[in-house]
Amino acid sequence: MEYMNSSDGSSMSSSGVMKNKILCCECGTPIEPNPSNMCVACLRTHVDITANIPKQAVVFFCRNCERYLNPPSEWVQCTLESKELLSVCLKRLKGLKEVKLVDAGFVWTEPHSKRIKVKLTVHGEVMDGVVLQQVFVVEFTVNNQMCDDCHRTEAKDFWRCLVQVRQKSINKKTLFYLEQMILKHKAHENTLGIKPSPSGGLDFYYATDAHARKMVDFVQAVLPVKVTNSKKLISHDIHSNSYNYKYSYALDVVPISKGSLVCLNKKLQQQLGHISPICLVTKVANAVHLMDPRTAQIAEVQNMAFWKNPFEAICNPKQMIEFIVMDIEIVRDNEKKNFPGQGPVSFRHVLADVWVVKASELGINENTIHTRSHLGHLLKPGDSVMGYDLQDANINNADFEKLKQDVVPDLLLIKKYYDKSARKQTRNWKLKHLTEDVALDTDIENDYNEFLEDLEEDPDLRQNVNIFKDNSKVIPVDVNDMPDPSVPRITLEEMLDDLVLDDVEMTEEQ
């Protein structure tokens, strides 16, 4: 038996022990004493701890890249009902700082409904230390908004940084090599657009300066280039003191290409192991590779060394003429000229004394010309060979005019000649390009064919190039099916299978 004490309203049991309970001031339910003197049910009717938290909000979604906007300006990749998406949704609620978030989870909705429901459990302190727990649902509406990156991609003329690659040279084979290096290493992934230049170069457009600098560093790593940068002020905010610039990088590639003939000054000759002043450019990669055709001495000119002592081509591959080999004799080791301080000598080439006749004078006025060449391992009597006739060449170069007549050779043989039409017909491989908008005139097409021939003749050069099978060409199975087995060609093992995206569509239709 218990009875009520009329003085304080507390109850007392028959044993005389007081129970510390009070009655709710609203409904009269016995409760533990608290500062509000109300039960939980009545307290919820009077106080709402989620009043300052919106029950509806908006999240922004980019349909092109399928990313959500993470305030203030970051776009993140999120899947439905993922913790990343939950974090994005919670950042859209402003009143969460006033309460303690205990639990949050998604309520299932249709994926195409453009609605995201999140169930939240929060704790809040009300009326002098009373902690109240409340569960509620917030509905987010997914609105479509294009992100900045997709906007710049769609607006193809919108760019912040421009990288211009140019080469002041008659022959453009070096630019074709650079194009294949970019494709192989996928250095063009962050570009907004790629446009060919009427002068034969390429323009790369970027959204940020960091992506443009990455391309500049890549080109500097694969080719000797000179970089010139500039910036143009677009706008200026005087309140925040922020500036908006457009940046431009001009990359000037060395004005020489493989097969060109150059003339070196005395200072550079001494630095390169007293090499002959007239040298052949055998390769243009991260350095300019030179060789003296009469001694097979080789040298490399690095990027900084070239621009400190620049030199230009005195003869280009378009000036080569055809000669017919009449006789050839290999030079013995004891007959080679060696001197102290001489640079390295190429072991891939064989020196030989060659007697040739101009193909245009064959059978008319056969003036046999003697020269020493590095092509002794390739030539035999009756072969055709391309070379420079320096006696009849019109050379306008200050370093060349300073040379004595006994130093200048009458003739320099460059490479063995093969039938161009036959090589083009039997070429069963192809290359990819950065852009298909290039208007190929006769000169550029000839330069491109020469670049393809260099790939067939130089195994080291094609290691940096992705070569694909050309399914439209018939691949010869037997050696007898080939027009000339001695013609250099790329083996089937070095080719890659071209990816055909139509196969996926065919499977879906089936």
pLDDT of residue 15: 42
Helical packing angle, 173-185 and 209-222, nearest 10°? 120
What share of the chain in percent tops pLDDT 90?
Answer: 33
pLDDT of residue 501: 44
What the block records as the tokens of 338 is: 């060696």
- 509 pLDDT above the threshold of 90: no
pLDDT of residue 376: 92
Q: Among 397, 390, 386, 410, which residue's Cα sits nearest to residue 313?
A: 397
For residue 247, the tally of other CB atoms under 10 A from its CB is 18
Phi and psi at 131, nearest 5°, equal -95, 125
What the block records as the tokens of 1 is: 């038996």
Phi and psi at 222, nearest 5°, equal -105, -20
The mean of the pLDDT values for the chain is 83
What the block records as the tokens of 184 is: 């192989």
SS3 505: helix
| Out of 59-63, 108-112, 368-372, least confident range | 108-112
Q: Is 28 left (phi over 0), alpha (psi -120 to 50) or beta?
A: left
- 203 pLDDT above the threshold of 70: yes
How far apart are alpha carbons 206 and 163 in whole angstroms? 8
Q: Among 73, 85, 79, 84, which residue's Cα sits nearest to residue 117?
A: 85
Determine the Cα angle at 457 with ends 318 and 333, to 5°: 95
If one compares 479 and 56, the residue with the highest pLDDT of the two is: 56
Compute the average pLDDT of residues 263-275: 90
pLDDT of residue 263: 93
- 3 pLDDT above the threshold of 70: no
Compute the average pLDDT of residues 220-225: 93
What the block records as the tokens of 142 is: 């997914």
pTM of the prediction?
Answer: 0.67
SS3 361: helix
Helical packing angle, 173-185 and 442-457, nearest 10°? 60
- 475 pLDDT above the threshold of 70: no
Strand partners for 62: 67
Length, in residues, of the chain: 510
Compute the average pLDDT of residues 4-24: 53
Q: 406-450 pLDDT, tens per residue?
A: 889 989 999 999 888 878 888 888 898 888 765 556 678 888 888
Inter-CA distances, 503 with 242, 422, 433, 470, 506, Å: 51, 33, 22, 17, 5
pLDDT of residue 129: 66
pLDDT of residue 375: 92
What share of the chain in percent tops pLDDT 70?
Answer: 88
The amino acid that residue 339 corresponds to is F
> Which DSSP state fits 433?
-
- 508 pLDDT above the threshold of 80: no
- 6 pLDDT above the threshold of 80: no
Structural domain spans, the chain: 22-148, 166-234+242-255+442-501, 260-417
Binning pLDDT at 50, 70 and 90, where does residue 232 land?
A: confident
Q: What share of the chain is helix, strand, coil (3-state, %, to 5)?
A: 25, 30, 45
How far apart are alpha carbons 357 and 350 in whole angstroms? 21
Compute the average pLDDT of residues 251-264: 93
How far apart are alpha carbons 205 and 187 in whole angstroms? 13
| Out of 101-110, 192-201, 286-295, 371-380, least confident range | 192-201
- 4 pLDDT above the threshold of 80: no
What the block records as the tokens of 156 is: 């193809």
Strand partners for 193: 205
Q: List helix spans (H) across 231-291.
A: 266-271
The residues, any chain, with a CB within 8 Å of residue 213's CB and separated by 6 or more, are: 249
- 36 pLDDT above the threshold of 60: yes
Binning pLDDT at 50, 70 and 90, where does residue 40 land?
A: confident
Q: List helix spans (H) across 105-207.
A: 148-154, 173-185
Q: Among 424, 442, 461, 476, which residue's Cα sits nearest to residue 176?
A: 461
